[in-house]
Structure 1
Amino acid sequence: MLRKNRPAFAIGEQPLGKIKGHDIEVYLDVGSPYPPMLRRAPYPASLENRKYIEQHINELLDMDVIRKIGHNEIVEITNPVLITGHDRKSRLCGDFRALNNYTKADRYPIPRIPHASDKRAKAKYIAKMDCMKGFHQTGVKPNSM
């Protein structure tokens, strides 16, 4: 099974494994043209932080996690933000708060934990797989935006 699904696994940082067949669909109701509140100037950052942000964005482009947008598309829908964790390492995040106002909710019932546990009680094998960078390993359907 592991050999058959080799593209889903990453040995190191690159290439990043991709979860195939489970692309997320995001529904936005922004209309056209895009509302001014979605067009934002970048947040101020020190020269050192700007270099880190640029380096990280280039890595995400190289890993095919993000793509460059065309000149006809939205100018700036999210600002990159550096977050420093308890281990003093910085990580790049996006500020999607303005975009969240235009996202149509996908309502579905959340499975109850006892029900999920009961389903697994009779299983012969239980496997758990962890994604190194789960948010980056799940695709977004092309027609979502």
Structure 2
Amino acid sequence: MTVCIDNSQPPLIIESGEHFSIVARNYLDHHFQNWEKQLLPTKAKKLKRASGKMTSIGTTIKEIIIPHRKGNIRLKPEFVGLGDAHIQGILLGTDYQRMYGIEIYNSKDRHITIGKKNEKKLSLDIYKISSQDPPEKLLNEFREGKVSTTLTSKQKISLLKMLRKKRPAFAMA
């Protein structure tokens, strides 16, 4: 889902498996001026992921505007900035999902509700992927992933294409 933050339109990833809301340093570098001056100390004691620890650079507060035909929805979450994350956009964790009453529903159509009374429904945009990307670009995109050395290059490319196609199911895939 695309949202508005400080005159930019980053994709918003709603992640049910991540407690903290996260933004990557490289994303901050490209989309927000003077973001270093707005950093606050991180409240999180330990940040981990499957491949090891995450490096926190601080916390930033950003107002998110979610466009909706019945009126825009404004959220003001704290994002933990990560120096070594590779997230294309911002990740809204369960901390603010609970606070704002955000729930994800997978029925005939995929949508989310915001608010305790289910009064506003939004359709999720599906992450559209170009199948024309060269294999080198695909391999570079997943460079930190641990892929079995027993797979052939063709098998690796096939696996990575499938993971990329199913990307909305993963936070940091």
- Is the shorter-chain TM-score for this pair beyond 0.5, marking a shared fold? no
TM range (shorter): under 0.3
Normalized per residue, which structure has more helix? 1
Question: Could you tell me the TM-score, scaled by structure 2's length?
Answer: 0.19
Normalized per residue, which structure has more strand? 2
Question: Could you tell me the TM-score, scaled by structure 1's length?
Answer: 0.21
